[in-house]
Structure 1
């Protein structure tokens, strides 16, 4: 996970500088036999086709719940050449494609699951998130791999029971609509040679159809055993999808989070910093930075390290924080307060609070219609790793913004 993709979902809520007035609903269906094995390892299969935001959700699950991710496509490309003795080297994806074109039977579901078992046995007390469906089409053409999975999964579960299958579901027609919507937003972006974006729509439809056909027997298997968790991701807004998925893992599966993800941290340095801010509306926790340490005048590195520990030890579903730095050695004006002066290239942008925080009704605990906040003060925004957004008053020194973000990154890596 890096800085580049962390604001994807939040920007989807804003068009042409205006905030949308209706927040899409994300529904979830949890079948009755979904439960985590009390004995290790804990195993979850995940499915999601084109447009499902699976990549973002997988990244967050790995970060927050300390899953080890097993991507079967990567496993195949790494292990299949070792399995097949050939005179010619098989070093690239194209080599593997040629190999399977000549003899598709080299790839079978039972071999894939045996390979997964080998990976699990390396960490028998771990949590595993298994992404079993490849994206590469030549892998999906292998009949011994894409087949009725009931027997092979049953054999797998004799040794390692699967808690559930998480299906990030979106109807095919809505996938196409989302592609067309993006095309409409950027009509000037044409392909080379004047090719229209209709080709993208057609290609997406074919990918979606192939995916649905490939996962059909998996859906039937987990549905039959009542262990299918289906999340409607039609809204295509990653933050909203993640909130629903996060609540499921935290509340229904009762997994203990390792840390938070997608946090929004609003820094304030004077008594007027949070004037007009409705903490309940934004579900923000107010933190007095001085209360986290014994000596508020200690180094800013120590202060920010204490802040990171507090944020990461907060319940995973708490994602927004207002940090009052008054009375501490952390100020918005000088870079000299930092011990390490490092050249960094973090992007700083101007933004508004509503762009980054999904609003919920804290009284009814249900999603509600979004209204544009009166707290429309602009901020400087710095995106760190782990999908964390740091917001600062506009008069904060830009280099100070960057150094604070960098200190928080370093504190988590120590």
Structure 2
């Protein structure tokens, strides 16, 4: 699967449009980490289970994505469990109470902090483990939603440890990853990118300057509250694994939030005696216009360009977003060849709500290179251009990643990812155009 970062060591690239511009493809240096002495040298059961912990800005989502795409792990996420299984549980116990949407569930959890129990969560996890053909699992037990973090079960240290002990009687845990972080300060490049020009600053009134400063402080305050809530809930679990010396601690405080952890994950997994999968990870790149291709070497990434209006049955006003995405996916599945990636010009997407209790598992905002997610073409040893792009990354499946390049709207990206990740039910109706592929 996506092994690009490890394959790119030491390659130097000269951009065609600027002969003096030289950029290193070299992989980022691994971060310092500590591996507990109590971690077994080989799997301790038929199902290998790893727990993963990390609060805001910890890049836990990226690390989970690496375990899935590089090492064949299957993800089990507590938020998906709650949003996917809690409605049916309440339908059996409280028939009069309907939970149709994620908002309904969150409202219930806010009003009733006892509605969510760790015993029930772990029983669902054990059911998933027992019924799955997968052998490796990464479990994210701490939710990001504040409504779930308020649950009484997560507030009790004794209950957290007892629930883990009960779980391990059936499924021993191999180890736990803890991505520790602090409030990360913006890097110099981030500051320059977000800074207003001097003339604009001078034109701002004192009231506007005070208002903008207040927004920054409010954002920081919300982030601190999220970190505090996460730390309180995660502490008993982390302490449990630290006591048995099965904790892998990685401090990500020293790197920018958008810096990938590929090199660190590679070193840690090598030390834990895991080998990477060499399967191809397909990338579907979504852009809002063609100007972005000035910064992307499509041949190097073995990426074919598709304009949505060329391959769908027309830009109909009554065609839903779900129909559009299913049709596009069906077209790609029909024409795709091995190791081929696709760049989608989204010129016909409908912005509309998607009614579902399910949430996309891994949505990561980053600024990086496309080759961090795929294996470049061996026929093109050097790209003609390589530039960091702002984008949202979604792991649609273990072997497929969706990248949405800025300024693609973040909410629309989540909706597309949600629809794309659906299990196939029926073939969508599409009318391919002979000019559909460029």
Checking the alignment, whether the CA contact within 8 Å between 2:53 and 2:179 is kept in structure 1 is yes
Partner of 2:263: 243
Give unmatched runs, 5+ long, in structure 2.
Answer: 3-20, 198-207, 284-295, 301-336, 347-367, 373-380, 394-399, 404-438
Partner of 1:164: 175
Q: How does 1:392-403 map to 2 (within 5 A)?
A: none
Q: Deviations over 1:262-296 (max 9, x none)?
A: 9999978xxxxxxxxxxxxxxxxxxxxxxxxxxxx
For residue 380 of structure 1, report the CA deviation from its aligned partner: 5.8
Partner of 1:70: 76
Partner of 1:26: 31
Partner of 1:230: 249
Give unmatched runs, 5+ long, in structure 1.
Answer: 3-16, 269-303, 310-341, 347-353, 359-374, 389-414
- 1:103 aligned to 2:123? no
Give SS of 2:154's match: coil
| CA distance, structure 1, for counterparts of residue 111 and residue 282 of structure 2 | 45
Partner of 1:200: 219
Q: 1:88 to 1:127 in 2, by over 3 A?
A: same
Q: Deviations over 1:313-342 (max 9, x none)?
A: xxxxxxxxxxxxxxxxxxxxxxxxxxxxx9
- Please, which of 272, 296, 309 is the counterpart of residue 252 of structure 1? 272
Q: 1:136 to 1:220 in 2, by over 3 A?
A: same
Q: 1:260 to 1:178 in 2, by over 3 A?
A: farther
Q: Deviations over 1:164-193 (max 9, x none)?
A: 1111111x2xx24249984664134999x7
Partner of 1:120: 129
Give SS of 2:152's match: coil
Q: How does 1:376-387 map to 2 (within 5 A)?
A: 378-379=384-385, 386=401
- 1:94 aligned to 2:103? yes
Checking the alignment, whether the CA contact within 8 Å between 1:179 and 1:201 is kept in structure 2 is no
CA RMSD of aligned residues (A): 4.4
Q: 1:25 to 1:198 in 2, by over 3 A?
A: farther
For residue 261 of structure 1, report the CA deviation from its aligned partner: 6.5
Q: Deviations over 1:65-86 (max 9, x none)?
A: 1211111011011111211233
Q: 1:186 to 1:49 in 2, by over 3 A?
A: same
For residue 239 of structure 1, report the CA deviation from its aligned partner: 5.6
Partner of 1:55: 61
| CA distance, structure 1, for counterparts of residue 386 and residue 110 of structure 2 | 53
Checking the alignment, whether the CA contact within 8 Å between 2:45 and 2:171 is kept in structure 1 is no
For residue 255 of structure 1, report the CA deviation from its aligned partner: 4.1
Q: 1:177 to 1:239 in 2, by over 3 A?
A: closer
Partner of 1:345: 345
| CA distance, structure 2, for counterparts of residue 179 and residue 214 of structure 1 | 29
| CA distance, structure 1, for counterparts of residue 180 and residue 343 of structure 2 | 43
> How many correspondences in the alignment?
281
Checking the alignment, whether the CA contact within 8 Å between 1:70 and 1:128 is kept in structure 2 is yes
For residue 345 of structure 1, report the CA deviation from its aligned partner: 3.0
| CA distance, structure 2, for counterparts of residue 24 and residue 216 of structure 1 | 28
| CA distance, structure 2, for counterparts of residue 210 and residue 55 of structure 1 | 18
| CA distance, structure 2, for counterparts of residue 39 and residue 239 of structure 1 | 34
Q: Deviations over 1:20-43 (max 9, x none)?
A: 99x766111100112352532111
Q: Deviations over 1:95-117 (max 9, x none)?
A: 11232334322211111111100
Query: Which segment is superposed worse, 147-156 or 176-185?
Result: 176-185
What's the TM-score, normalizing by structure 1?
0.57
For residue 61 of structure 1, report the CA deviation from its aligned partner: 1.4
Partner of 1:135: 144
